[in-house]
A and B are shown apart, each in its own frame.
Chain A
Amino acid sequence: MATKFEPKILGFLCNWCSYAGADLAGVSRYQYPANLRIVRVMCSGRVEPSLILEMFIQGADGILVGGCHFGDCHYQTGNYFAEKRVKLTKKLLKRIGFEEERLRLEWISASEGERFAETIREFTKQIKEIGPSPVSGTTPNVDILKALFAAKNAVKDFRLKLLVSRELDLVMEGNVYNEKVPQEEIDTVLDAAINYELDRCSIIFEVRDEALSVDELAQRLELPPNRVLQHIVTLRDRGLVMLDRIDNDTPLYLAVEEGIK
């Protein structure tokens, strides 16, 4: 490829602060590279991990989520949830070996036009340095692409989402017994949940086209067989995996097609 790499950068900006900050950058004529494409949302709290992951799957080189500073969210607390979700998404990206720096969260107010421009300049430069997304173009890295799909499935998981929605509450208000749960503890639970979901997604991928046994899966995914068995039980409960047939006393499992998407 002879042409210079021009990254594709998406900006999901909240209407009330960051989008307005971008407006002010314009009004003040602060110049920045033309790589950014802005999608307006009402609040940064609207931006969900699956949307971000989908855009990475589709080849975005960088994604900026922009919201109001804490305390300034037009809807009080949307940005707190945005932060939790971006953090979760970054954690996922890191785990699957996709550069987490491609995702960035910034609080930019309506009066920070210069900071907006500077942020875009700097982010664009950073993405140029990192280079094109491993899954963009005509020869995407299939492993990472697969992992991104898995991650996208993981964030759709019921309990993972539930945990993220409750996380803030647990930290700030405590549980029903009024005990405050320390952040690290929640992080540990989140980490475990993410890891499990990724394992489960990988299992679904493996058994999409061919029926496999627990042992075969354990070998391919380098996981302990009893862990794989646990996952299979969960996945069967959720209707995502079914028993295909029993070969030589060994049960073989296959993905249920609809469940995947």
Chain B
Amino acid sequence: MAMEIKEPRIGVFVCHCGVNIGGFVDVPDVAEYAKTLPNVVHAENNLYTCADDGLTAIKNAIKEKNLTRVIVASCTPRTHAPLFMRICEEAGLNKYLFTFVNIREHCSWVHMKEQEKATAKSKDLIKMGVARAVLLEPQEEVKIDVRPSSLVIGGGIAGMTAALNLANQGFETHLIEKEPELGGFLRKLSTLYQTQESSAKAYEGLIKKVEANDKIQLYKNTTLKSLTGYIGKYDAVLNVNGEDKEIGVGTIIVATGADEYRPKGLYGLGEHDNIITLTDFEKMVKEDKVPADLKSVAFITCSGARGQDKEYCSRICCTVTVKNAMKVMEMASKGGDAEAKVEEASVDEKAVSDKEEEKAEEPEEEEGESRRRSRRDRRGRRGGRRRGAERGEERPKERGAAVDVTVFNRGITTYGIEQELLYNKSREQRVKFVRFVPENPPKVSMEDGKLTVSYYHETLKADRKMNPDLIILATPLTQRPDAQELSKMLKVPLGRDEFFLEAHVKLRPVDFATDGIFLCGTAHGPANITEAVAQAYGAASRASIPMSLGYVQAEAIVSYVDRERCSGCKSCEVVCPYGAIQFDEEGLAEVIVAACKGCGTCGSICPEKAITMTHYTDEQLTAEALAALEEVGT
């Protein structure tokens, strides 16, 4: 490409920047030197090149001297390039034929005591700029149309929220859900810790709204089969009940949620019916199947998390543990009352179902009464608390609680104001918290036909044992098994913990690096509903920006593939963080201009040298660097 350059006509403008440059660099001398460089037909120095007269000088010179390249030697392109590029454009010169030479930040300001050297270096830097400018080519910035429609993957609370939000803004929204029903993980849960109300309340209304919205195309029993395209123009094939359906959208939101981790064998999980997970327990509660005669229940937090299998902390399970510990207490106190009543009526022990009926039949007042009573109980107990606490959590049964609930934990993280209050409340209700260190976790075994937890009591400094009727493990949320496949299809990454990875942890928390694809809910990592919903609003709002604009401005600095040279080795695809490389029918690479950000990493990895990075070509970089190695004045 270096060939057949129609003798570029270069104009160089060297800035004094008042004394900022002029005070340390001999600016007129530098400008004179510039005139001696090849292809330079005009050079001048300005007091402030970025001031009106400086800008006018550039415009005039472009017109009068037919300049085809402009070089400004002044401050830094990071602040001033847009201005000078605009001026070139206004004067009819393609703005990519402008070259910036930094002689202030990189020269006069850092060599203030070596003025001769600073002057020589300024000359060098301009020589480098000229070497580069000669090889520049005009570039076009293209606009890419964006379809005003979106695909939301996953019909949990996050996906539904995002879909509704987009639909309410008027965008055609396709919501796909793998399962036959919307609702996601919440379907498995009993009550929510935020409201103490049934989780169904959180999603049922939402499902109705989604189903009634005529901007939402809802597909149940549906997954994504394949995807091609880029922001603005994604073509997806859906697998709807086993049949293919093609749709076209402009943006995509990933809301595929997470699963509960089930580490088989850990603390005996899967080996005994009474060793279960939090989700199992919530299901039990929901289905009214909690055994009635629970005397002792043990929770173990961080099961399989924080270095045990999974590295991360799953954030929500401490609060969920507290919620369920209190649930056990609550059920027992209710059950206790019921039992008392049953005894009073001198009915012999009946099956659980009877008690269940009893509970159901309990009139409102009775319920209220029982609650009041338990509150009284609590108040009554409080007096003895301090003394009890000093003795550690191992207080005898005399305190009167119907059930003994112990939470083995590695520190409780009930983050958030309300959640912390919930924790305090659980302590008031006599939930016992026993800490363990990761090196010495509690051990679960069967002794004399009884479930046994052996543990080391860190406060009492003693080995202890207990015999719970039920052991509930707080296991972390974990990525779904099919996420890998989805990540490949969408060309978006999974992070170290296998959750979908956002573009920037602080600045772009619901974007993927790939333009046009966004992320919300537990697909991104453990989160509660509040957070999942907030992310869903964020993702929907981010997705709506290009859709309401109707276009995106593609970068002019992108790479392109020489098909003659490409061997289809796919190295470039591996290194591109934006999924901007696709392969045509012949297996040859092509760059999706809309998706390319112009980093140039693919260009430097291509074994066949088939990829050229516009504006930063091998020739341009080599020429610029080589100019630096020549002696000044040569």
Contact = CB atoms under 8 A, between A and B. Distances in A.
Contact of B577 (A37, A76, A160): A76
B40 to A, nearest CB: 19
B111 interface: yes
Given A31-B112, A48-B605, 16 more contacts: A10-B628, A10-B629, A22-B105, A25-B105, A26-B76, A34-B114, A37-B121, A40-B77, A43-B601, A60-B625, A75-B599, A76-B503, A78-B600, A81-B604, A85-B604, A161-B571
Interface in B112-141: 112-114, 117-118, 120-121, 124-125, 128
Contact of B599 (A20, A74, A158): A74
B624 A39 contact: yes
Given A23-B105, A77-B577, A42 B616 contact: yes
Given A8-B629, A26-B110, A75 B577 contact: yes
B78 A19 contact: yes
Interface stretch (B46-54, B205-213, B387-395, B606-614): B606-614
A34 B601 CA distance: 30
A245 interface: no
Interface string B560-576: 00000001010110110
A241 interface: no
B607 A29 contact: no
A153 to B, nearest CB: 13
A41 B105 contact: no
Interface in A147-188: 156-162, 164-166, 169
B625 A51 contact: yes
A179 to B, nearest CB: 15
Contacts of B110: 25-26, 29-32, 34, 117
Interface size class of A (residues with CB under 8 A): 35 or more
Contact of A46 (B102, B616, B628): B616
A27 B567 CA distance: 47
A10 B104 CA distance: 18
A87 B607 CA distance: 18
A65 to B, nearest CB: 11
Interface of A: 8, 10, 12, 15, 19-20, 22-27, 29-32, 34, 36-43, 45-48, 51, 54-55, 58-60, 71, 74-78, 81, 85, 117, 156-162, 164-166, 169
A78 B105 contact: no
Contacts of A51: 604, 618, 621-622, 625
16 contacts: A10-B628, A27-B105, A37-B121, A37-B628, A42-B598, A45-B601, A51-B618, A59-B629, A75-B577, A77-B575, A77-B577, A81-B575, A156-B609, A162-B571, A165-B572, A166-B574
B128 A41 contact: no
A42 B629 contact: no
Nearest to B609: A156
A46 B612 CA distance: 11
Nearest to B569: A162
A158 B574 CA distance: 15
Contacts of A81: 575, 601, 604-605
Contacts of B513: 76
Nearest to A61: B629
B22 interface: no
* Most central of B574, B603, B618 by chain A CB within 10 Å: B574
A45 B575 contact: yes
Contacts of A158: 567, 569, 607-608
Contact of A42 (B102, B111, B557): B557
Contacts of A37: 121, 124-125, 128, 625, 628
Given A8-B628, A37-B128, A169-B574, A45 B109 contact: no
A36 B575 CA distance: 30
B106 A38 contact: yes
B491 to A, nearest CB: 12
A34 B605 contact: no
Contacts of B578: 75
A46 B629 contact: no
Nearest to B20: A26
A161 B570 CA distance: 12
A60 B107 CA distance: 20
A58 B131 CA distance: 16
Interface of B: 76-78, 102, 104-107, 109-114, 117-118, 120-121, 124-125, 128, 503, 505, 513, 557, 567, 569, 571-572, 574-575, 577-578, 597-601, 603-609, 613, 616, 618, 621-622, 624-626, 628-629
Nearest to A38: B106
Given A22-B105, A26-B109, A77-B577, A165 B625 contact: no
A161 B611 CA distance: 14
Contact of B78 (A20, A41, A74): A20
A115 B45 CA distance: 33
Contact of A45 (B128, B574, B600, B626): B600
B598 to A, nearest CB: 6
Contact of B629 (A12, A24, A60): A60
Contact of B600 (A43, A71, A164): A43
Contacts of A45: 575, 599-601, 604
B128 A39 contact: yes
Contacts of B120: 34
B76 A23 contact: yes
Given A8-B629, A34-B111, A55-B625, A26 B607 contact: no
A134 to B, nearest CB: 15
A39 B605 contact: no
Q: Which 6 interchain pairs have the tightest Cβ spacing?
A: A26-B105, A45-B601, A46-B600, A48-B604, A75-B599, A37-B628
Contacts of A74: 599
Contacts of B105: 22-27
Contacts of A76: 503, 513, 577
Nearest to A23: B105
A78 B625 contact: no
A34 B121 contact: yes
* Most central of A8, A15, A40, A78 by chain B CB within 10 Å: A40
A162 B628 contact: no
A39 B569 contact: no
Contacts of B598: 42
A47 B111 contact: no
Nearest to A25: B110
A206 to B, nearest CB: 25
A150 B571 CA distance: 23
B624 A164 contact: no
Contacts of B600: 41-43, 45-46, 78
Nearest to A6: B117
A191 B106 CA distance: 38
A30 B600 CA distance: 31
B555 to A, nearest CB: 10
Contacts of B128: 37, 39
Contact of B622 (A15, A34, A54, A75): A54
A29 B104 CA distance: 10
Contact of A29 (B112, B503, B575, B625): B112
A22 B106 CA distance: 7
Nearest to A117: B110
A81 B624 CA distance: 23
B562 to A, nearest CB: 15
Nearest to A13: B106
A177 B317 CA distance: 33
Contacts of A19: 78
A20 B76 CA distance: 9
A46 B624 contact: no
A85 B121 CA distance: 29
A141 B480 CA distance: 60
Contacts of B77: 40
Nearest to A172: B496
A32 B110 CA distance: 6
